[in-house]
Amino acid sequence: MALIVEKTTTGREYKVKDMHQADFGRLELELAEVEMPGLMSCRVEFGPSQPFKGARITGSLHMTIQTAVLIETLTALGAEVRWCSCNIFSTQDHAAAAIARDSAAVFAWKGETLQEYWWCTERALDWGPGGGPDLIIDDGGDATLLIHEGVKAEEDFEKSGKVPDPSSTDNAEFQIVLSIIRDGLKTDPKRYHKMKQRLVGVSEETTTGVKRLYQMQANGTLLFPAINVNDSVTKSKFDNLYGCRHSLPDGLMRATDVMIAGKVAVVCGYGDVGKGCAAAMKQAGARVIVTEIDPICALQALMEGLQVLTLEDVVSEADIFVTTTGNKDIIMVHHMRKMKNNAIVCNIGHFDNEIDMHGLETYPGVKRITIKPQTDRWVFPDTKSGIIILAEGRLMNLGCATGHPSFVMSCSFTNQVIAQLELWKEKSTGKYEKKVYVLPKHLDEKVAALHLGKLGAKLTILTKDQADYIRIPVEGPYKPAHYRY
């Protein structure tokens, strides 16, 4: 696509695949609203007081129907919003169109190149000459990364006149990041400093991004306050677990129509995502084998009747391989060569480097046959045996299906709204330093409570006497901070 920003009749910027899909997006958005009681409750509770009046929010988070409901919750609370996706395949084009037409500046489409991806990220951060956003909602930390790298480069440039050199790295994606910053330096050598200055804080959605934040905190390089939304119980124990339990089989079915029952599925990693994936595969009738580095998680897998082995032990007899680790180099090309014909290999962890896509692409004589978008068969020249790679090694639930369903994303995104409200409310109080915070437990419990009615649940209320007996307030929080759920 030509990277030219378009404008709506009202003058709002956007770049999406096809504006004609806006009506379809709107219909699905309306369905999703019914499934997202947490977000809709926020609109009812906070909408009237317009707490985000004057706030500019930039989001870098999968531009799906669910995210669309989040964006319109933010705007319903008074915010101005610019958005990009945090994954080249995760955008739902009808969702992007509906939001671009009706509510916010969107720069996202399904199937971006890496170049396009970072252009979109830059657009979402670019609020014009007055600096960047007040608040960021980040997923994986790419928006945060760009600002941090930008600030660093500007400092170097100021000190030494040096500009970033893309050829200094052989990571193709980081080369693009450096190019963008380098080019930016030419037009405005204080661009990222201005952003940093304006920024009140970021709320981060996912494990990978959170890890980056804690590292920066540890290194003392974090430039603004951050709220770790990922580790809200109602996020990590819900969306990571129940979301993946839903969307892994969904992605497998849409991409390959494969029968899961009777198959051998290898789940690499048994964290929250891995637990959801293993449960899904087991329930669908697969025999599940888990690989783990952590003996505690391994023992949990065993207690559920799963086998725990190494990838080497099972590589040639399994049918489905799923990486969920958040680490890299999990399934290498030498593993893939030993797999059964048409073994399915996919990633639902975070980055595409869980699978050795580079090794596969550069394997001598390998042949790629695209069955349909995001479903490729790669054939090895020697064995004539093929493997099926989903979503080019990127998040298969977003690449091959529609990601997590609305209800569980309502939990995650209600945490986001609350985190953003908190950052914005405390913007001048100094409550939040340049550190990483988690939301207090009573807010976590509130998020859960907002989702019970939709499912017909009724809570038991403690008597005062009972509450005193276990020394907690009647209205909660009900658990100590270290409680694991």
Binding-site residue set: 64, 139, 205-208, 235, 239, 271-276, 292, 348-350, 397, 404
State the minimum distance, in angstroms, from the CB of residue 27 to its own copies.
Answer: 5
364 preceded by a cis bond (ω within 30 of 0):
no
Nearest to its own copies of 182, 287 (CB atom) = 287
Segment 269 to 288, residues that bind its own copies, using CB under 8 A:
272, 282-288
Give which of 65, 110, 85, 106 is closest to 409, Cα–Cα.
Answer: 65
Q: Tell me which residues are annotated as active site.
A: 62, 85, 90, 139, 205, 230, 235, 239-240, 244, 350, 404, 412, 416
Question: Which residue type, as a one-letter code, is found at position 359?
Answer: G
Tokens representing residue 185 in the block: 């330096």
Residue type, 250: D
Shortest reach from residue 75's CB to its own copies, in Å:
23
317 lines the binding site for its own copies (CB under 8 A)? yes
Q: Which stretch binds its own copies (CB under 8 A): 51-59, 196-204, 229-237, 427-435?
A: 229-237
C-beta of 261: minimal distance to its own copies in Å?
Answer: 5
The answer to whether 105 touches 13, Cβ cutoff 8 Å, is yes
- The answer to whether 408 contacts its own copies (rule: CB under 8 A) is yes
Binds its own copies (CB under 8 A): choice among 28, 72, 356, 392 = 28
According to the binding rule CB under 8 A, does residue 173 interact with its own copies? no
Residue among 67, 404, 406, 448 at smallest CA distance from 244: 404
3-state secondary structure of 367: strand
- Stretch binding its own copies (CB under 8 A), from 80-88, 103-111, 193-201, 239-247: 239-247
d(CA 417, CA 485): 23
| CB of 271 vs its own copies, minimal distance in Å | 8
**d(C-alpha 392, C-alpha 371), whole Å:** 12
- Under the binding rule (CB under 8 A), the answer on residue 27 touching its own copies is yes
CB 344 within 8 A of CB 393: no
Distance CA 383, CA 366 (A): 10
Closest CB to its own copies among residues 180, 443 = 443
Q: Which of residues 417-476 bind its own copies (CB under 8 A)?
A: 438, 444-446, 448-449, 451-452, 455-463, 465-466, 469-471, 476
In 198-223, which positions are buried (b, 16+ CB within 10 angstroms) versus exposed (e)? Answer: bbbbbbbbbbbbbbbbeebeeeeebb
One character per residue 373-392, x = contact with its own copies (rule: CB under 8 A):
----x----------x----
Annotated binding site for substrate: 64, 139, 205, 235, 239
20 sits near its own copies (criterion: CB under 8 A): no
If one asks whether residue 485 binds its own copies (CB under 8 A), the answer comes out as: yes
The answer to whether the beta carbons of residues 411 and 399 sit under 8 Å apart is: no
Question: Which amino acid, one-letter code, is at 103?
Answer: S
Instruction: Give me the sheet containing 287-291, strands edge to edge.
Output: 307-308, 287-291, 264-268, 320-323, 343-347, 386-390, 375-379, 367-372
Q: Nearest approach, Cβ of 117 to its own copies (angstroms)?
A: 21
Residue 427, SS3 per DSSP: coil
Comparing CB distances to its own copies, the nearer of 79 and 409 is: 409
Residue given tokens 């699978």 in the structure block: 355
Q: Which of 8, 197, 221, 342 binds its own copies (CB under 8 A)?
A: 342
Taking the least distance from each CB to its own copies, the nearer of 167 and 460 is 460
350 touching its own copies, by CB under 8 A: no
- Asked if 290 and 274 touch (Cβ cutoff 8 Å), the reply is yes
